[in-house]
Amino acid sequence: MSICSFILIEAEPGKVRAVADKIASVPGVLKAYGVTGPYDVIAMLEGESIEDLGKIVTTEIQILPGVRKTVTCLCTFSCPQEVQ
């Protein structure tokens, strides 16, 4: 069973598109969205464990040029509920 999370990303001004494009190519990232509001990019990430997700965030996403800050939100359920 995999674990899903959403990563809220604050990017440097003028670098939102470049950050989203780079994040979208990171293994484990299912989608990256440019958004309005307090964050600039939201990425949907999937991994085999919380440790796996943490490693992707800290070694692949947070180090990207233009990334200022990340907040990781773990998914606890989805609607409609997935059939397993």
Domains of the chain: 3-74 (3.30.70.920)
3-state DSSP assignment of residue 64: coil
pLDDT tens digits for 16-45? 999 999 999 999 999 999 999 999 999 999
Q: What is the mean pLDDT of residues 45-64?
A: 96
On the CB side of 75, how many CA atoms lie within 13 Å of its CA? Answer: 19
- Residue in 57, 66, 63, 72 with CA at minimum distance from that of residue 17: 66
Percent of the chain beyond pLDDT 90?
88
pTM of the model: 0.90
